[in-house]
Chain A
Amino acid sequence: MTMKDDNNISCSKCVHKKTSIFKNCPSNDLDTFFSEKKQITFSRNKIIIKQGEVFNGIVCIKEGIAKVFQTKKNKEDFIFWFAKPGDLLGVDSFINKDVYSYSVMAVESTKICLISKNDIDTIVKKKPEISIEMIKLLCERIDYIEKRMVSIAQKGIKEQLAEVLLLLSHKSGNQTNSLTISYSIKDLANIIGTTKNYIYKLLSEFSQNKIVSIENRTLKINDVKKLSKISLGN
């Protein structure tokens, strides 16, 4: 079940403001412009954005992790990336006001803010400098996808898994190099485009060689150097 939170935190007080595309907007402006903002909590495996639905606003992840993926008939889902707190979704649909090209699902309990279509239009009109930040954000996304594209085209599954694990641990931003596998084995398979069994086999190989250890749904990277080496095919 999804529920609407009553304690709507204003954007000006949000910890993610300083890294978001709204970082250069005066706080008061944000709170006035985003009058229709809704804060919603999604439990694990609930759909936040549905692929093919008409653009309804920009989603800002406040807490939690969500997977961004596309579904095709008769195919496994393909995961483009995992969104973490502070990430924005739907920016690429904002200009054409067309449909969302991907789905977003909570992999753990995830709190989001939905900034409505109208509010986004208002702020872009009144604060044109936002568009530069949107441009930067889109450039970053494309860069990430194209980098992954080269890996998928040229690397073996083992190299890719090593790369993805490093990427995810980097994304979760903690120093200990541990990352929670609330990313399921299936998610790891679907970000690479392989089978669950293969991922399972490779993870046990990594853990046998003490490169990673898996305990209580948490995967910890013990040897970053080795894993980087594997990711480069050495």
Chain B
Amino acid sequence: MAKKIKKIEVPRCSDCEAFNVSMFCSTNSAEEASLSDNKVHNIYKKGQVIFYEGHQPQNLFCIYSGKVKIFKLGDDGKEQIVRFAKKSDLIGYRALLSGENYFASASAIEETIVCSFPKNIIEELLDHNSKFSMQTIKLLSKDLRIAEQMILNMAQKHVRERIAEALLMLKEYYGTDSITGTINTTLTREEIANIAGTSTETCIRILSEFNRDRVIKLIGKRIKIASIPKLLHIANITE
């Protein structure tokens, strides 16, 4: 039986609507052409892994469409989500840039199209385009601060606060549906637990408490934030 393969097309980088907000906006036309000529794209179904922690990176990935979670596995194999990525975000850059193996794994949380660029093209960019390297430093500095905030919350905040914060983060990052007002991503309860660093059971219990107290509204798998002030209060965010 022949498998049905969905044919997808992606534009050249310069024609991509994400180009100007992506890390590649500082490239000149020759560099952009080299990126476009050498890229390949892949489609990942929900749950499919884009790269694995511990593997050697060969490519830099840029998300053309869809959503991705970046996670690490603990000693007993439990997942901890460290970051999310969406359209125009680069993923897998840290390992590639520092010449190490992947620090974390990435998988699609919905159907995702990813463009991948060979390592040598990116290295050339870094060597010759100082704007690109400065932007990379900027991106990493931001990543470091996000990681610092996450670890601080993990160490000092209670699980209720952390789940409230995770929901606010998801809303901020992925936005809300213009019609239903729900957060534009469907994560499992387990995944939300894995952001906040708690068990699935605790996460389910706290989400239904939030639902009962009309802080959020659970609509099937989707979540609508009913009262942002209340959720901010629970998350203990004052600034």
Contacts and interface: CB of A to CB of B under 8 A. Distances in A.
B151 A138 contact: no
B75 A233 contact: yes
From A136, A147, A153, A154, residue with most partner B Cβ within 10 Å: A153
Nearest to B146: A142
A40 B103 CA distance: 36
A78 B137 contact: no
A146 B147 contact: yes
B134 A142 contact: no
Q: What 6 A-B pairs come out closest when comparing CB atoms?
A: A153-B197, A193-B155, A138-B140, A139-B98, A131-B133, A92-B141
Interface of A: 70, 72-73, 75-76, 78, 80, 91-96, 101-102, 128, 131-132, 134-136, 138-143, 145-155, 192-193, 232-233
Contacts of B78: 154
B97 A135 contact: yes
**Dominant SS among interface residues on chain A:** helix
B219 to A, nearest CB: 28
Contact of A96 (B76, B94, B141): B141
Contact of B156 (A92, A134, A193): A193
A140 B100 CA distance: 10
Contact of A142 (B94, B154, B238): B94
B39 to A, nearest CB: 22
Contacts of B147: 142, 145-146, 149
Contacts of A91: 141
Contacts of B74: 150-151, 153-155
B143 interface: yes
From A70, A95, A232, residue with most partner B Cβ within 10 Å: A95
